[in-house]
Structure 1
Amino acid sequence: MLARQRQDLIIQAVEEHGGVRVSELVADLHVSDMTIRRDIEALADKGLVRKVHGGATRADRSAEEPGFTAKSEMNPVQKSEIARTAASLISAGSSVAVSAGTTAYAVAIELRAIKRLTVVTNSPRVADLLNDPTRDDLLVVLTGGVRTPSDALAGPVANEMLASTHVDTLILGVHGIDLHAGLTTPNLQEAQTNRALIKSAKRIVVVADHTKWGIIGLSTIATLDKVHTLVTDAELDEDARREISRQGVNLIVAPRSEEPLPTPVVS
C-alpha cells in the first residue's frame, strides 16, 4: 500500500471516530509502528490531523465539536485515571455540580461510591447514570436547556436555574485549555452555561487529559486564574505543568492505573 493510500485511510478513521491510536492503525493496515508514526507526522505537518501521544485526533478547528460518542473513545484509560483522582477530592455529604462531557461523565461514575451526595448537572447522561431509586442519600438535579452536540443542556433555561444554585464543588470538563485563552469550548451556548456553573461553585475542579492542552475552542469559558484545581494525566509535559502552576492552579497529576491513588477525602 502506498503512503498516500495509508494516509487517506488515517484521515478517514480520524474523521469517523474523532481520533485513532497508532496500535489500531498498525493492526488494520499491517505495517510497522514507525511507518504509522511517520504517516501521522506527515499529516500533522500539513494540518490534516493533530498528533497526540499514541495516535492522532482531528485537526484543531475552533468551532468544531465532536459528539459524545466520538470523544468517549479518545484516551479512555487517562480519563479513568483522572476520574478516580477527581472523585477522591469529594467528601461525603457535600454538593457537587458536574458538567457535560466524557471526562466529567467518567468522574460521575466514581461519584456513585460517595455517601450523602447532592449532584447538580446539565448532562442528561450524568443524571441517568446517577439516578438510583434505591438510594435516599443521593439527590440528582438536572437543569433544563437545549441539548448541544456534546449532550449538554445549555442556554437561558439552564443559566437561570444555575443562577440561584450554590454548590461546594464543580467538576468541569472542557474542550481545550490554553495559557492565554484559558478554558474553551466550540459551543457559544455551552460556554455561557459553563460560566453559570462556575459562578455557582465555591471550588472549581477542571478535569482534562493531556491532549486538551494547547487546544483553543471558539469561546472562552474562564481564564486559568479562575481554576482552583486541575486534574490531568501523567502524560502532560513538564513545560505545560510549569505554566499551569505559575497561574496559581493546584495541579494534580493522576497516578497511572497501576499506581495507588492518593489518600482519598471521601468516607
Structure 2
Amino acid sequence: MWSQDRHRRIQGLLGHHKQVSADELARQLDVSRETIRRDLVELEAAGLLRRVHGGAILPEQTGKEAPFADRMQVRRREKQAIARAAARLVEPGQTCFVDAGSTTALLAVELAKIPGITVITNSIDVAGTINRDGIEATALLLGGQLHSDVPGTFGELTLSEVARFQVDIALLSPVAIHAERGASNFVLHEAEVARAMIRYADEFVLLADHGKIGQVSRANICSCSHIHRLVTDSAAGRKPLAELRRAGIGEIIVAD
C-alpha cells in the first residue's frame, strides 16, 4: 500500500473514532508498527493529527501544528530534490514570490545561485539566505506581523505589500494538495499570503513532497486548476498524480 493510501486510511479512521492506536493501525493496514510510526510523524508534521503516547488524536483537540524546526527535518532529502527542480524553472533576471515554509527555506539555497533574480518573500529564512555576500540576487522582505513558529511575516500589512508587485513566478509550498479540495494550509494567515501571491504572479508553481499529496488541511488556498506546475518527488504515487492532472494541474514535475 502506498504511503498516501495509508495516510488517507489513517485520517479516515481518525475522523470516525477521534483517536487511534498505533497497534490497531498496524493491524488494520497490515504493516509494521515502525511504518505506522513514520506515517504518524509525517501526518503530524503536516498538521493533520497530533501524536500521543501509543497513537494519535485529531489536531482540533490540540489546536497546534508541529514545530517548524521539526517540519524542516521531515522528508528533507525529498524537499531538497524538489527545491533543485523548482529552481530550474526560474530564469536569470526574473522576479518571484516565495512564501514561508520548510520546503521554500531549502528552495532559497538554490535560488541564491541564479544571477539577477529578485525574490520577494515573507520568509525571514528565505530573505536571509538570499541576502548574503557574493549572492547575485536581491531579496525583498515583506513587512507584517511576526509569528513565533514559522519565521515569517503575516497579516494585513503583508497582504497589502504583496499587492504592490506583479511578478513572473510564485513558488509556494502548502501543507496539503488534494485533487478535489485543492491546495491548503494549516492556518488561515499562511493561506491568505499564498492566495495573494498567486493573484499577483504570472505563473504559479506549487512545491509538495509525496507526503502532502492527497491530504487536506484547514485553510483553503486554491483549486488545482489554478496551479500551473506541481513539483513533487519520486515517491509520489502514479494514481494520486493522475488524479491531480485530471483535476486541472497544468504540468507535474517529478524530482529525482
TM interval, short-chain normalised: 0.7 to 0.9
Cα drift, residue 94 of structure 1:
0.6
Partners of 1:64 and 1:186 within 8 A in 2: no
Cα drift, residue 50 of structure 1:
6.9
Cα drift, residue 134 of structure 1:
4.3
In structure 2, the residue matched to 1:39 is 33
Do structure 1's residue 80 and structure 2's residue 88 form an aligned pair?
no
Q: Gaps spanning 5+ residues in structure 1: where?
A: 1-36, 256-267
In structure 2, the residue matched to 1:51 is 39
Do structure 1's residue 140 and structure 2's residue 139 form an aligned pair?
yes
Cα drift, residue 107 of structure 1:
1.1
Q: Gaps spanning 5+ residues in structure 2: where?
A: 1-30, 50-58
Q: Distance in 1 between matches of 2:123 and 2:66?
A: 16
In structure 2, the residue matched to 1:213 is 213
Q: Distance in 1 between matches of 2:38 and 2:188?
A: 23
Partners of 2:144 and 2:154 within 8 A in 1: yes
Cα drift, residue 253 of structure 1:
0.3
Equivalent residue runs for 1:1-267 within 5 Å: 38-40=32-34, 51=39, 57-58=43-44, 60=49, 61=59, 64-135=64-135, 137-148=136-147, 149-249=149-249, 250-255=251-256
What do the CA deviations read for 1:225-265 (whole angstroms, capped 9, x no partner)? 1100000000001111101111231100002xxxxxxxxxx
Q: Distance in 1 between matches of 2:150 and 2:176?
A: 14
In structure 2, the residue matched to 1:261 is none
3-state DSSP of counterpart to 1:51: helix
What do the CA deviations read for 1:104-149 (whole angstroms, capped 9, x no partner)? 11111001111111110000111011112445x4221101112332
Cα drift, residue 165 of structure 1:
0.9
Q: Distance in 1 between matches of 2:213 and 2:42?
A: 15
Give the letter for the 1:253 counterpart.
V
Q: Distance in 2 between matches of 1:134 and 1:231?
A: 28
Question: Following superposition, which runs of at least 4 residues in structure 1 exceed 6 angstroms of deviation?
Answer: none
Partners of 2:172 and 2:206 within 8 A in 1: yes
Cα drift, residue 174 of structure 1:
0.7
Give the letter for the 1:251 counterpart.
I
3-state DSSP of counterpart to 2:126: helix
So what's the TM-score if we normalise by structure 1? 0.74
